[in-house]
Amino acid sequence: MIYEFRTYDLQPRTLGQYEEIVDKAINGGRQDLSKVFGYWYTEFGLLNRALHVWPYESIEERFAIREKANALDTWPPATGPLLVDQHADIYFPAPFNDESISGDHGPFYELRMYTYATGEIPQVIDAWSKAIDERRKHSTFVGAWYTELGQLNRWAHIWAYRSLEERASVRSEMIAKKIWPAPGGPAPRLQESHLYEPFPFSPLT
């Protein structure tokens, strides 16, 4: 299984227009080929950014499905004039993910991106495997993924919260009780955090 994270930066004041176009296009046959995992937009930090995540069984399936999708009249959505920049990254899922997760867990989804030293990702997976069951009792764990293509040694993880107050409270409690960060794991070299909210057509809301 692989996950494609596609990040689109939009021109200011076009997010509503982007939502309208994608809302009509995504159910015009694209979802019959493969299902989107989640579709979000930023409300904090760098604004006017859309993130959509697509699972595939393999790189070969990704190319085959995208070729079929590009043959649809409705796909890709006609959002090109609204876009300032685009990025696509391929991630592999952590072994402890729940691949079937969907539904209402937000409205706030935090994507945290860590960069580790060369060779440390297996250590991260081992430490998280021992700690994740306890951590996920306190807030919704959407998933964790690591890179094998493109920028290496990257670890992405998404958490859902009902409110910003819940996020702050849970994070403080986890640190105080030494439940999280996962004990025994290496410290990341770089860290980023992006807070998203779901589009109405996202399976994760």
**Segment (H or E) for 129:** helix 121-135
Q: How far is CA 24 from CA 1, 51, 75, 134, 139, in A?
A: 28, 17, 10, 40, 32
CA gap 50, 81 in Å, rounded:
15
Share of the chain above pLDDT 70, in %: 100
What is the CA angle 35-41-47, rounded to 5?
A: 155
How sure is the predictor about 27, in pLDDT bands with cuts at 50, 70 and 90?
confident
Q: How far is CA 183 from CA 60, 121, 125, 131, 139, in A?
A: 37, 15, 12, 7, 18
> Tens digits of per-residue pLDDT, 141-186?
999 999 988 889 999 999 999 999 999 999 999 999 999 999 999 9
- The tokens for 29 are 């046959």
Say which residue, 138 or 27, is predicted with more confidence.
Answer: 138
In this prediction, residues 56-71 reach a mean pLDDT of 96
> Tens digits of per-residue pLDDT, 120-135?
999 999 999 999 999 9
Share of the chain above pLDDT 90, in %: 96
pLDDT, the chain, mean: 96
Q: Which residues contact 102 (CB under 8 A, 6 or more apart)?
A: 203, 204
Q: How many CB atoms lie within 10 A of CB 153?
A: 18
- Asked if omega into 107 is within 30° of 0 (cis), the reply is yes
Q: Residue 104's pLDDT is what? A: 98
Q: Residue 45's pLDDT is what? A: 87
Domains of the chain: 2-198 (3.30.70.100)
**Segment (H or E) for 146:** strand 140-147
